[in-house]
Amino acid sequence: GAVVSQHPSRVICKSGTSVKIECRSLDFQATTMFWYRQFPKQSLMLMATSNEGSKATYEQGVEKDKFLINHASLTLSTLTVTSAHPEDSSFYICSGQGSTGTDTQYFGPGTRLTVL
Amino acid sequence: ELKVEQNPLFLSMQEGKNYTIYCNYSTTSDRLYWYRQDPGKSLESLFVLLSNGAVKQEGRLMASLDTKARLSTLHITAAVHDLSATYFCAALGRSRDFNNAGNMLTFGGGTRLMVKP
């Protein structure tokens, strides 16, 4: 199956700093990429959907100025958590989807963010 | 808006027993997925169900879909300890942004399965 990578896998940062997470589709072109957040013992919550070359669509309650998403190419999307605070500590998972819209989403391995 | 509910949320069972996890969704969906998640890990795809009456089996797990009832089940046969994990169902629905080519997944709350030796 298709492979999606995320980098870094784990990051610890101080409160107030910004953190960038990369999501790459390694062997397919991801027209659409999704970013999810998962708090401990909870389900995955969709944060935003991004199409290559377009602005991301954010879900209700997700601050677009705090969670900056860039989908500059068909194989790379980035999520930047700006001015991170301890409540942003979470497991962030991206997924990539091909061009037909009903294609399976391929999930990355996730990034564990801890904000001190 | 598509909503997905799973039950039970937590399941403790003995090895060798059978059990079923239920996944209800609120509106028409094109596809129904089942995933497994181990602690600290991302999602592992188990099944994708495409049509009414679809049944798929892999080892001790069997998934089925009833689109009329908007219900999918994940049946565990003769559970073993290695099946201990959290299982999620997810339904594929249309993105709220109609300019967005991608269709979004809505996840159920997850079922945390613990199989005791």
- Residue pLDDT, tens place only, B2-53: 899 999 999 999 999 999 999 999 988 878 999 999 999 999 999 999 888 8
Whether chain A has a CB inside 8 Å of the CB on B95: the answer is: yes
Among residues B15, B13, B20, the alpha carbon closest in space to that of B80 is found at B15
pLDDT band at A53 (very low <50, low <70, confident <90, very high): confident
Q: Is A86 on the interface with B (CB under 8 A)?
A: no
Residues of B in contact with A46 (CB under 8 A): 104-106
pLDDT value of position B95: 52
How many Å from the N-terminal Cα to the C-terminal Cα in chain B? 41
Please name the member of A43, A57, A112 whose beta carbon is closest to the beta carbon of B100.
Answer: A57
Instruction: Say yes or no: A102 contacts chain B, CB-CB below 8 A.
Output: yes
Confidence bin at B101 (pLDDT 50/70/90): very low
pLDDT digits (tens, 9 = 90+) for B44-76: 999 999 888 899 999 999 999 999 999 999 999
CA atoms within 13 A on the CB side of B31: 16
Beta carbons of B100 and A41 less than 8 Å apart: no
B102/A49 CB distance under 8 A: yes
**More confidently predicted of A97 and B101:** A97
Q: Distance between CA A30 and CA A34 in Å, rounded?
A: 10
The arithmetic mean of pLDDT across residues A79-108, rounded, is 89
Query: What CA–CA distances, in Å, run from B65 to A79, A100, B2, B87?
Result: 35, 23, 17, 16
B81: DSSP letter: G
Q: Look at residue B94 in the predicted model and tell me its pLDDT.
A: 63
